[in-house]
Structure 1
Amino acid sequence: MTRIIISFPESIGDIVVEIINKNLKTIEALLKNIPFESEVNLWGEEIYFSTPIAVPLENPDSIVDKGIVAYWPPGQALCIFFGPTPISKPNEIRPASPVNVIGYVVEGLEKLRLVKEGERVVVKRI
C-alpha cells in the first residue's frame, strides 16, 4: 500500500493519503515528481494546488466522494475534496471538470476546513 503525505505546515500539519490502483499513469507521474511544494487554492470545500506533472484524463470521474484526492488535468493540479464545491448539486461533490482519482485521505480529513488560501503545501512520500 502506497501512501503520501500532504503537509500544510502553516495551519494543520500533515494529512495522509492512501493511493489506489486507478489512473496508474497519473500516479506514476506524481510519484516520480515527489517531493514538491505549491500554494493552496480553495474552491468551496475543495483544496487544489498546482503540480509539476502534466497528464491527460485517464478514467475520469465527474462526481467524487468526500476525502477523495484527484488530479485535475486542465489546471495540472492536485485536488482534495472535503465537501461540496460551488457547482455541486445536493448530496454530491462535483469537480469543476472531470478528474483522475488517485487516492483518498486516511488521516486528517476533519482538519481540512482550517487550511487557508495561499498557504504553502508540501507533497512527499511516507
Structure 2
Amino acid sequence: MARIRISWPGGAVTATLDPTPTAEKVLAALPTRSSANTWGDEVYFSLPVRASLEPNARQVVDPGTVCFWVEGNSLALPFGPTPVSRGNECRLVTKVNILGKLEDDPRRLSSVNDGDEITVVRID
C-alpha cells in the first residue's frame, strides 16, 4: 500500500492507496499540482491520468474515501453530503473508482477553497 500527501494553502491530509489499476496510474503521475474545485462537501481536482471504471466502482462512499472520477479525470475526496446526496451520505455525481482512504479526519478538507493550489506527492 502506498501513501500520498495532499496539501493546499490551509492544510494537508495523508491517504493510503490500495493496489488498484487506477491507483497505480495516479502514483505514476506524482508529484503533481492542480487547482481545487468544491461541490458541497467534496473536493476534486484534475490529474494527468486517464482510467476506465473498475469492477468495484461506486457512487455512494464513506467520508474520507479517496476516489477517482473517471469522466472528469479527477481525484475526488468526499467528506460529507454533496448536492446529489440523500440525507448525510457522500454521493458523487457518477460512479467512481475507489483508490483508498484518508488517514486524517476528512473534515480537514472543509478548509479547501475553489481555486486553491493542490499538491499531491508520494510519501512512502
Measured against the shorter chain, the TM-score band is: over 0.9
CA offsets 1:65-110 (integer angstroms, 9 cap, x no match): 0111100000000000100110000142110000001011102523
Q: Which residue of 2 aligns with 1:17?
A: 15
TM-superposed CA distance for 1:2, in Å, is 1.5
TM-superposed CA distance for 1:53, in Å, is 0.3
Q: Note if 1:40 corresponds to 2:20.
A: no
Aligned residues: 122
Identity, in percent, stands at 37
The answer to whether the 8 Å contact 1:26/1:55 transfers is: yes
The answer to whether the 8 Å contact 1:15/1:107 transfers is: yes
The two structures, once aligned, show a CA RMSD in angstroms of: 1.1
Q: State how far apart, in whole Å, the 2-side matches of 1:110 and 1:62 are.
A: 20
The amino acid across from 1:2 in the alignment is A
The amino acid across from 2:74 in the alignment is A
Unpaired runs of 5+ in structure 2?
A: none
SS of residue paired to 1:62: strand
Q: State how far apart, in whole Å, the 2-side matches of 1:84 and 1:41 are.
A: 15
One of 114, 118, 121 as aligned partner of 1:117: 114
Q: State how far apart, in whole Å, the 2-side matches of 1:106 and 1:25 are.
A: 21
The answer to whether the 8 Å contact 2:69/2:96 transfers is: yes
TM normalised by structure 1 equals 0.92
TM normalised by structure 2 equals 0.93
More strand by share: 2
The amino acid across from 1:122 in the alignment is T
